[in-house]
């Protein structure tokens, strides 16, 4: 949700300006999203402090007015302080108000800075387009028609389609975080048209990567994945190819690394020159040696052929984060060089088996 819109929604919620339906929906978001809940708590505190300060200020103003009126009527006298004594008196009188005002000014400055950063990032990210395909009725029918009769049924109304690929033959697949965040129910399909249920076991929004696990008893483990996951950075100009599902069949694309960083200098990603379309999100990027160097994430909507891919070394970081989080899942990344030395057609033919369509709703 846009930061400014979220703040506006929080204020409407706290002021009781939401309809019952909006309030129920917002409370559901608050319950499921700790960051939104924390924002509500902090905003409540801020509004409380502002109201408190306004009350104190109004009370002091009333006292000053009463004092001035009584003095003018001659009922009380007020000695005039001069020099340092007057400065000390004024400081003691108004230091709490000054402190509160300074604190509020500090809070407002921090909040404003945060909003400026969020807005700037939003403007920057507005040029990026996530490559998840939204499935229409015609495409849904096409997906169902591909499904073999002996496999599990296809979800009746899959809403999204993207790509993923195996990183462990036991059924562990890498795709994008923005892919799985759209899906409550996840299915993956291999190049034979077989569908399997899957679940997300880890997501990293910073690198936009996620790990899925096929949890379907119909799935059979695959041995000897013919590629490896590159841990070092790739070179500028390195030739690459990618496989993905912008259509209901796997699609090949080729290009090169055009920058060693992603959007706005993102060091966790590459910029590629390659043709991609919605549905390519999560697709593998391979070099001529058959090493996976990246994972397609998005493209620049205002410049043709400018594509961004998370660097493959981020996959290693995902596994480290899993271990640190106490997860007992064991994932063994492939280290084979079965694609090296083959011509491109042979590389693609061997690779197709391990690239999956990811669909869900």
69, HSE (Cβ side, Cα atoms, 13 Å): 6
Instruction: List pLDDT tens digits, range 158-186.
Output: 889 999 999 999 999 999 999 999 998 99
For residue 90, the 8-state DSSP code is: H
Residue pair 312/207 in contact (Cβ under 8 Å)? The answer is no
187-201 mean pLDDT: 93
| Residue 254's pLDDT band (cuts 50, 70, 90) | very high
Tokens (6 digits) for 131: 């490559």
CATH of domain 130-360: 2.40.10.120
249 by Cβ neighbours in 10 Å (0-12 / 13-18 / 19+) ranks as: exposed
pLDDT at 40 over 80: no
* φ and ψ of 358, to 5 deg: -110, 120
In the chain, what percentage of residues exceed pLDDT 90? 48
* φ and ψ of 104, to 5 deg: -65, -40
Instruction: List pLDDT tens digits, range 265-323.
Output: 899 999 999 999 999 999 999 999 999 999 999 999 888 789 999 999 999 999 999 88
pLDDT at 116 over 50: no
pLDDT at 119 over 60: no
Per DSSP, helices labelled H in the chain are: 3-14, 20-32, 34-72, 83-125, 137-146, 177-180, 313-324, 344-351
pLDDT at 230 over 90: yes
Pick from 10-14, 151-155, 217-221, 354-358 the range whose average pLDDT is largest. Answer: 354-358
pLDDT at 53 over 60: yes
For residue 263, the 8-state DSSP code is: G
Residue 361 to residue 357: CA distance in whole angstroms? 14
256-268 mean pLDDT: 92
Q: Using CA atoms in the order 157, 159, 161, 164, what is the torsion angle rounded to 10 degrees?
A: -90
131-152 mean pLDDT: 60
325, HSE (Cβ side, Cα atoms, 13 Å): 13
10-20 mean pLDDT: 84
pLDDT of residue 77: 64
| Residue 121's pLDDT band (cuts 50, 70, 90) | very low
Residue 185 to residue 181: CA distance in whole angstroms? 10
| Residue 11's pLDDT band (cuts 50, 70, 90) | confident
pLDDT of residue 123: 42
């Amino acid at each position: 949700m846009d930061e400014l819109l979220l703040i506006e929604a929080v204020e409407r919620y706290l002021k009781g300006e939401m309809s019952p339906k909006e309030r129920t929906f917002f409370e559901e978001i608050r319950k499921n999203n700790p960051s939104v809940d924390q924002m509500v708590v902090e905003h409540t505190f801020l509004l409380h402090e502002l109201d408190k300060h306004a009350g104190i200020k109004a009370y002091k103003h009333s006292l000053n007015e009463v004092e001035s009126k009584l003095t003018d009527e001659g009922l009380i006298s007020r000695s005039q302080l001069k020099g340092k004594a007057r400065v000390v008196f004024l400081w003691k009188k108004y230091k709490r108000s000054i402190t509160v005002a300074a604190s509020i000014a500090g809070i407002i400055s921090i909040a404003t800075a945060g909003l400026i950063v969020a807005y700037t990032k939003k403007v920057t990210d507005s040029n990026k387009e996530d490559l998840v395909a939204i499935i229409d009725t015609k495409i849904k029918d096409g997906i169902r028609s591909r499904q073999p009769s002996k496999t599990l049924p296809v979800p009746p109304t899959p809403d999204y389609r993207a790509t993923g690929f195996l990183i462990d033959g036991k059924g562990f697949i890498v795709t994008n975080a923005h892919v799985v965040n759209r899906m409550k129910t996840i299915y993956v399909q291999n190049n034979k048209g077989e569908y399997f249920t899957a679940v997300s076991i880890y997501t990293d929004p910073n690198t936009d990567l996620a790990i899925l696990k096929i949890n379907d008893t119909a799935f059979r483990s695959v041995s000897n994945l013919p590629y490896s996951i590159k841990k070092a950075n790739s070179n500028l100009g390195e030739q690459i190819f990618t496989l993905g599902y912008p259509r209901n069949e796997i699609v090949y694309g080729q290009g090169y690394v055009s920058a060693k960083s992603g959007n706005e200098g993102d060091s966790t990603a590459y910029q590629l020159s390659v043709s991609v379309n919605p549905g390519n999100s999560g697709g593998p990027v391979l070099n001529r040696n058959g090493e996976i160097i990246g994972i397609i994430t998005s493209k620049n909507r205002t410049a043709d052929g400018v594509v961004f891919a998370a660097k493959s070394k981020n996959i290693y970081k995902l596994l480290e984060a899993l271990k640190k989080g106490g997860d007992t899942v064991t994932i063994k990344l492939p280290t084979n060089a079965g694609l090296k030395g083959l011509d491109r057609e042979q590389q693609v033919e061997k690779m197709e088996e391990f690239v999956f369509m990811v669909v869900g709703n």
